[in-house]
């Protein structure tokens, strides 16, 4: 009976640890994805602003 109890407790602890690890990984992946999106948008905005200012300076 005690062996079954330790098995059940081991499974519960393994699930809790796996849940925490997966949650941390998804948090890190979401941060990296958000950072990549911000970088792309920043480059587009920079190019648009540079185009606007360079066309105004030639007029």
pLDDT single digits (tens) 18-45: 999 999 999 999 999 999 999 999 999 9
Mean pLDDT of 8-12: 95
Euclidean distance between CA atoms 8 and 2, whole angstroms: 10
Write down the H helix ranges in the chain. Answer: 2-58
pLDDT of residue 57: 62
pLDDT of residue 18: 98
Amino acid 28: pLDDT: 97
The domain tally of the chain equals 1
Give the Cα separation of 48 and 51 in Å (integer).
5
Domain that holds residue 14: 1-59
**pTM surpassing 0.85?**
no
pLDDT score for 58: 58
């Amino acid at each position: 009976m005690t062996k079954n109890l330790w098995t059940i407790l081991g499974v519960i602890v393994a699930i809790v640890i796996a849940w925490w690890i997966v949650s941390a990984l998804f948090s890190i992946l979401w941060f990296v994805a958000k950072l990549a999106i911000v970088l792309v948008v920043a480059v587009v905005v920079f190019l648009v602003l540079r185009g606007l200012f360079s066309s105004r300076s030639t007029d």
